[in-house]
Structure 1
Amino acid sequence: MYQNYGLFIDGRWLGASDNETTDVLSPVTEQVLGAVPRASLADTQSALAAAGKGFEKWRSTSAFARADAMHRIADEMIRRADEAKRMISLETGKPIAQSEREWILSIDQFRWFAEEARRIYGRIIESRVPNGRFEVTREPVGIVGAFTAWNFPAALVARKAAPALAAGCSVIIRPSSQTPGVAMVMVDCMRAGNLPDGAVNLVIGPTATTYTPIMADKAVRKVSLTGSTRVGQQMIRDAADTVKKVSMELGGNAPLIVYNDADLELALNVSVPTKFANAGQVCVTPDRFFVHESLHDQFVDGFVSRTKALKLGDGLDPSVQMGPLINAGRLSEIESIVTDALKSGATLAAGGERAPEFNAGHFYKPTVLTGVTDDMKVFAEENFGPIAAITRFSEEDEVLARANASEMGLSAYAFTRSPDRAGRTVAALKAGMVGINSFALAASEAPFGGTNHSGMGREGGIEGISDYLDTKLAQIVF
């Protein structure tokens, strides 16, 4: 299924220079989907050289021409939507409806940043020097290294490639080796933009032959990562050697507060599908459920009944609502987290085991735990899986303090009918994004990102292009 693609370097699809390949496994069947080229050090060095040449051509392309190119890319992505959503579900196992939505959101990134390319404004400042003025301009930062995770293999590439290209940068995309095909389809769509050779490059492979040379190259001036906090911390250290700009969206451990005045049906109807979307492998998904004591039992009953009704299976089946975990390692980790919680005194209300109806695949039943305490691993750390951990609270100040008792600060949520309480909650929660009566935070027009150990920088919105630009000041006197 990958025979038409490979590594994309200097405008061409290529195999690895040493002919090495990596098998991609299905999380549904555990069988090989296909083999993809594994980039050698020489391949990545070729991509770096190509990106350097591509940058010189692309940076001199007018903003209006860049915008037109990106609209052509979006048009091609629309044309190939069926192919793309199928590739997403094949590689991740996620339900096809979720894959389709991800591809639509990815298209929207190219549409949004096509227009942002036309709005890279400078300004004039009055000078104190007679007959002088200050000119402030914005210039593309240079070659960009884009490192993406497997859980949203299309959206994460689009969030990095689209603003980079809009700014006039060239980009080297390094996707997860578990989901390379989705990035390949998107890069192939980028060919419709008629970009200069080298403006977009794609390498796939291990850290030593892809990540390391990109991070070491002085010509790479900006790197963007979606991944774990541990990997982000290492990237910050590595970027320091060549003083690269960094932006990163890292882990989360989102609190969800259900106040005593919440619309209980609304909270239940939207929180269950959100929690178990992509089998819980979503950085912004609610992990820690704080429910007011007056609604706790009703909430648990409603949450459990809706959870048990979810249909598990192959994401290519349109009736499936939750697919498998991405690999055997994640499955084992989720089992360990649940076992630890139960040993620590939590109560199992639903799930808590591998789905026995499947003879293959990394399927784990959507799980609900109650009676959890804040110090349990399932609560204190991101579980990144299909586990909803529920606890009680009584007072507003108490729950806000507990919700903020985390090193993470990506997203947070609350349900309330009170505008005043909503305002207090938004102000108090330590997170880059807060949803009140809604989980809809990811949109091309809105800045997406976190604080503290959840990362830095923003993707989307007018803020999303800033990290790909340098600011230049000129004092001009006549």
Structure 2
Amino acid sequence: MTISERLTEPALFKTGAYIGGKWTSGDKSFPVYNPANRQTLADVTDVGAEGAKTAIAAASEGLKRWKKTSPFERCRVLLKWYDLIQRYSDDLGTLITAEMGKPLREAKGEVAYGAAFIEWSAQEAARVHGETLPVAAPGARGWTLRQPVGVVSCITPWNFPAAMITRKAAPALAAGCSIVIKPAPETPLTALALAELADRAGFPAGVFNVICGDAQDLGPVMTGSPEVRMIGFTGSTEVGKLLMRQAADGIKRVSLELGGNAPFIVMDDADLDAAAAGVAQAKFRSGGQTCVSPNRIIVQEGVADAFVGRLQAKIASVKAGDGFDSASDIGPLIHDEAVDRVDALVKSAVAGGAKVLTGGQPLADELGGSFYAPTLLDGGSFDLEIARSEIFGPVASVYRASDETQIVQLANDTPYGLAAYLYTRDIGRVHRMTEELDYGMIGVNAPMVGSASTPFGGVKESGIGREGGKWGVEEFTELKYVLLAGVNG
């Protein structure tokens, strides 16, 4: 069955570019594959540098109208987009599963999660306002205005093809900005479907644009154009640093959600069953291909053996398979190169003293796609590459530590600071350790840290800025101060 045949609304299957309120195509294209079986799903238009320039020019024109639109009207259009996404959530989930690989039920969950950011941001549109300020000069008045930053380039990754777009696009649009979205080349079909629904929602021409192509061609235009005033990016720290350097010449605003090396801490007073279930949920969501996925599971020595036994049983029951198979718990990795990288990390860890308790090998020959076995490693040095870098695969690696002080030290021994997890029933520990852990988000006895109403983002080399809540909308505004003298004559 082809991807279009799986959709209830075949018109959501788009392969062109959405620029200035119109669908366009070109002579140059690139293939999109299903990582579960390596079959070609579509050939998508590569707009090249000139296409990127056209999209930015369209966004600049669209901005002129959109920034002057009533916030209540912006709210109305955003909510229409939200309603359409909800209506076609099954089709959007199907596209995500086809091009990214995650199980269909999880893909539908991503659609709901991503749509929540649209609903929240729509309601925030009318709450973007300034304040009246006290000033020293007699008879004077001072106030602030919050105005849209301008044209925003949104560069998004493949692991959450819908949510990583809505987390940027919705607050930017709510604030009155226009946007140009460049999705990852691995997963453009979901982005193009979202553009079709945005078109139906009634965004004015040029306000919402989606272009696809080679990052080396599109990236410099999207960061270097003087018409672009902000870059929103989710992806690797390496690429984030590059984009930040490119944005520096124009002193452009950047919002960067970058790599992570999340510790999952289990203290000796924790509920071990809940902690094991938490690791399984947080680690194997999207096959471990998330920036907040637990990377180092640090367990206090006194309960380590008991915890590892529970976790091993959990992981041994995780089933890898095609995302369209309802029996599958996790899907494939995004491509064969990702499988090779994860396998190299596991082999290096074993050579460094870690023990494979379950899994530990590719499943490509067995399942016919870019699959890796759900894996649990025990032991090994904290100096191993698997402990120092982001695994981005279905591999849980357990380390043992003696006390609270050592655990915090080990958890913070990384240049990253996106998410951390702490399992303990001691409220004193909760306060002490959350204050000492150098992370932007900390889940205490909770394996999921993100929601539309809360701030999502990291510290250190994990990024700049926040997505979600009122903070997400404020990222896309400029604060202007006005002083009016001589009010009383």
Query: Above 0.5 in TM-score?
Result: yes
- With 109-118 and 185-194 compared, the bigger mean Cα shift is at 185-194
Residue type of the alignment partner of 1:316:
F
CA displacement at 1:129 relative to structure 2: 2.2
Secondary structure in structure 1 of the residue aligned to 2:366: coil
CA displacement at 1:349 relative to structure 2: 0.8
Secondary structure in structure 1 of the residue aligned to 2:302: coil
Which ranges in structure 1 are unaligned for 5 or more consecutive residues?
A: none
Q: Which residue of 1 aligns with 2:94?
A: 86
Distance 1:251 1:214 in 2: 21
- 8 Å CA contact 2:14, 2:193 repeated in 1: no
Listed one character per residue, the Cα deviations across residues 21-74 of structure 1 (whole Å, up to 9, x for unaligned) are 110011000110111101122211110110011000100101111011111110
- Residue 42 of structure 1, aligned match among 26, 50, 59: 50
Distance 1:119 1:476 in 2: 24
Listed one character per residue, the Cα deviations across residues 363-411 of structure 1 (whole Å, up to 9, x for unaligned) are 1101111112110111111111111110111111111111110100000
Question: Does 2:42 match 1:15?
Answer: no
- Residue 58 of structure 1, aligned match among 57, 66, 82: 66
- Residue 344 of structure 1, aligned match among 352, 358, 372: 352
Q: Which residue of 2 aligns with 1:322?
A: 330
Listed one character per residue, the Cα deviations across residues 63-94 of structure 1 (whole Å, up to 9, x for unaligned) are 11101111111011111111000001111110
Question: Does 2:176 match 1:168?
Answer: yes
Alignment of 1:128-147 (within 5 A): 128-147=136-155
Question: Does 2:212 match 1:204?
Answer: yes
- Residue 278 of structure 1, aligned match among 278, 286, 289: 286
Q: Which residue of 1 aligns with 2:33?
A: 25
Q: Which residue of 2 aligns with 1:424?
A: 432
Residue type of the alignment partner of 2:139:
N
CA displacement at 1:113 relative to structure 2: 0.3
Distance 1:24 1:369 in 2: 33
Listed one character per residue, the Cα deviations across residues 288-347 of structure 1 (whole Å, up to 9, x for unaligned) are 011111211111111111111111101111221011100011011011101111111111
CA displacement at 1:127 relative to structure 2: 2.4
Question: Does 2:341 match 1:333?
Answer: yes
Q: CA 1:6 to 1:174, structure 2 compared with 1: closer, same or farther past 3 Å?
A: same
Secondary structure in structure 1 of the residue aligned to 2:245: helix
Residue type of the alignment partner of 2:459:
T
Residue type of the alignment partner of 1:15:
S
Residue type of the alignment partner of 1:401:
Q
- 8 Å CA contact 2:282, 2:448 repeated in 1: no
Distance 1:357 1:438 in 2: 36
- Residue 363 of structure 1, aligned match among 371, 392, 416: 371
Residue type of the alignment partner of 1:76:
L
- Residue 414 of structure 1, aligned match among 397, 417, 422: 422
Q: Which residue of 2 aligns with 1:444?
A: 452
- 8 Å CA contact 2:15, 2:42 repeated in 1: no
Listed one character per residue, the Cα deviations across residues 94-151 of structure 1 (whole Å, up to 9, x for unaligned) are 0111101100011111100001101012111122223211120000010000000000
Question: Does 2:394 match 1:402?
Answer: no
- 8 Å CA contact 1:5, 1:14 repeated in 2: no
Distance 2:246 2:385 in 1: 30
Q: CA 1:357 to 1:332, structure 2 compared with 1: closer, same or farther past 3 Å?
A: closer
Q: CA 1:355 to 1:3, structure 2 compared with 1: closer, same or farther past 3 Å?
A: closer
Question: Does 2:133 match 1:125?
Answer: yes
Listed one character per residue, the Cα deviations across residues 140-166 of structure 1 (whole Å, up to 9, x for unaligned) are 010000000000010000000001000
Distance 1:278 1:227 in 2: 15
Listed one character per residue, the Cα deviations across residues 187-225 of structure 1 (whole Å, up to 9, x for unaligned) are 111123311100010110012331111111011000010
Distance 1:164 1:9 in 2: 17
- Residue 252 of structure 2, aligned match among 233, 244, 247: 244
Alignment RMSD (CA, Å): 1.1
Distance 2:438 2:13 in 1: 46
CA displacement at 1:4 relative to structure 2: 3.7
Q: Which runs of 4+ in 1 moved over 3 A?
A: 1-5
Question: Does 2:383 match 1:375?
Answer: yes
Which ranges in structure 2 are unaligned for 5 or more consecutive residues?
A: 5-11
Equivalent residues, number: 476
